[in-house]
Amino acid sequence: MSRQHDKVALLFNANKIYDRGVIEGVGQYIQASQCSWDIFVEDDFVYHRNTIESLSIDGIIADFDDPETVELLQNVNVPIIAVGGSYQNPRFYPDLPYVATDNYALVEMAFLHLKQKGINRFAFYGYPADTPKHWALERQHAFLQLMEKYEQESYYYLGDQTHSHNWVESQEKLAQWIKTLPDYTGIIAVTDARARHLLQACEHLKIAVPEQLCIIGIDNEELIQYLSRISLSSVQQGTAQIGYQAAKLLHKCLNGIKVAHKPLLIAPLKVAERRSTDYRSLQDPFVIQAMHFIRQKACHGIKTEQVLDHLHISRSNLEARFKQEMGKTIHQVIHEEKLARAQYLLQSTDVSIQEIAEICGYPSLQYFYAVFKKEFGVTPKEFR
């Protein structure tokens, strides 16, 4: 039996959503099992390697995607549960109990999401090969395997390891690559952070997302949603389940139960679907341009006349094109975009309903309530 209180160190850096999710899963196991653990986590939630050797601990759950952590723990003689990404080559796994993100399944889920949207061209934006992020390389390999399996032509770009000194240059090079892609390509970014690079580059290039290019990330990092004008679709990893299973394995070890040294792969949860993959198979270039303008300006009080002025086209011409492509009038599309924006803000933010009404271009709170209730059968407050 374990001692009354086991001292457990969690070696993760909670500035990353992946690590935060794993830690949350560990906490869920502690709550569920009522195990008596004293958890060591640094006050700033970033573990400092120079303090680990001085800790008196009984067990460790650690991020084995970090090579320095792997090296640090080589001679530590307490039960260790490793957490990290999956490998296609089984020889790369450490000789420890290991709970892993299924990298192939992550990329496959992103790919199938794009394919279900009607996308037939695919690209991948990863990390440079010389970075110590083995999971990024595994995701790149997964993408290439999927392209071969489905007999698709592949486009990929690894880019730079960006930092403050090369940010502008890196974005310019990324933009050059984006310009080589055919229209109606779906781009899978290795992380949400890299997907944000794509969204910003497309905005500078005046490339309509998702009408001309679709973008999907991996991680479902909520912070990214607040830093981009276009909300990002993303694959949500099963990080809480990873942490839960890692804690369960450690609990067994601390109770003297032998645990197999083999990887336990955790599948992703779902695609959090947002605007960046809200793809409609539009072919008419005027409708594509109009939709991009409407998405950007619907909440600024625009009417059909402003769309016509932007495109320098007659009303009858553009209305006919919209009816052919979308089965709707320009006015209906503007109306739907405003309501979609209001729904998103109600669901994803704490912004007051009064302010949401103003942001979405409604002349009064009462009018917003009336329009919303007519469309959805509930008030904005009830919807939230």
Question: What does the domain layout of the chain look like in residue ranges?
Answer: 6-101+238-268, 103-237+273-277, 285-383
What pLDDT does 3 receive?
A: 52
What pLDDT does 253 receive?
A: 94
What pLDDT does 56 receive?
A: 80
Measured distance CA(251)–CA(35) in Å, rounded: 8
What pLDDT does 344 receive?
A: 85
Beta bridge partners of 80: 60
What pLDDT does 52 receive?
A: 65
Place of tokens 């995701």: 139
Q: In the numeric block, which tokens belong to residue 134?
A: 């083995």
Distance from the Cα of residue 226 to its chain's centroid: 13
Q: Which listed CATH number (3.40.50.12780, 3.40.1360.10, 3.40.50.300, 3.40.50.2300) goes with 103-237+273-277?
A: 3.40.50.2300
Q: Which listed CATH number (1.10.10.60, 1.10.150.20, 3.30.70.2190, 1.20.120.640) goes with 285-383?
A: 1.10.10.60
What pLDDT does 93 receive?
A: 94
Q: Say if 103-237+273-277 and 285-383 have the same CATH topology.
A: no
Q: Which residue numbers in the chain have pLDDT < 70? A: 1-4, 44, 48-55, 226, 281
Q: Computed from CA positions of residues 365, 366, 372, 378, in that sequence, does the dihedral angle turn out positive or negative?
A: positive
> Hey, which bits of 220-323 come out as E strands?
233-236, 263-266, 270-272
What pLDDT does 54 receive?
A: 63
Which residue in 265, 196, 262, 267 sits closest to 235, CA to CA? 267
What pLDDT does 50 receive?
A: 64
What pLDDT does 145 receive?
A: 96
- 176 membership: H or E segment, kind and range: helix 167-179
Give me the CATH code for the 6-101+238-268 domain, please.
Answer: 3.40.50.2300
